Amino acid sequence: MRKDGLVIVYTGGGKGKTTAALGIALRAAGYHQKICMIQFIKGSWHYGELDSFKRLEPDFEIIAAGKGFVGIIDDNSPREEHKKVAQEAIKICKEKIQSGKYDIIILDEVNYAINLGLIDVEAVLDFIKSKPIELNLILTGNHAKREIIQVADLVTEMKEVKHPFQLGIKAKKGIDF
């Protein structure tokens, strides 16, 4: 069976998962491919990619579907609210995946959303099984489930070796957000 579209997973505790997906998006936009990124966790903070993608319109669309990182720093949202918006993100994913409009769809931080119990791994496996054959699907986020790794075509695990935060260096604009 010919399989044109790949399922790519970027996971692990090191930095660079979303950045790797954005690198593919940048490359694909150079070929006028259509890309959609649905962000499951990010949403309440401002990230550089939210501005830079506008330079790549109409080829690149980002949907910040989350309410921000769950249970850290300034998160005051009840867990049920995070779960509700994650379920809405699932609906958006289903619509975008089945639309036939995109060459690449990135489910940013989806693995983390599964790990936090905001969404069910079965919903994501259904996306993978039912995606159009030519669609490339990229899943990012730490804690990728074994079931997802098994059905993926490419899995890269980011491993932290050294991090500036260990030296007291805070996140940097343009590098981290």
Q: Is the pLDDT of residue 2 over 50?
A: no
User: What pTM was estimated for this model as a whole?
Assistant: 0.89
The pLDDT assigned to 66 comes to: 67
CB count within 10 Å of CB 3 equals 9
What are residue 107's DSSP bridge partners? 38, 139
The pLDDT assigned to 46 comes to: 64
Q: Is the pLDDT of residue 70 over 80?
A: no
Q: Where are the domains of the chain?
A: 7-167
Q: What distance lies between CA 98 and its chain's CA centroid?
A: 17
What's domain 7-167's superfamily in CATH?
Answer: P-loop containing nucleotide triphosphate hydrolases (3.40.50.300)
In this structure, what are the phi and psi dihedrals at residue 11, rounded to the nearest 5 degrees?
Answer: -140, -175
> Virtual CA dihedral for 15, 68, 92, 38, nearest 10 degrees?
-30
Identify the three-state secondary structure at position 63.
strand
Of 27 and 168, the one with more pLDDT: 27
| Mean pLDDT along residues 146-173 | 92
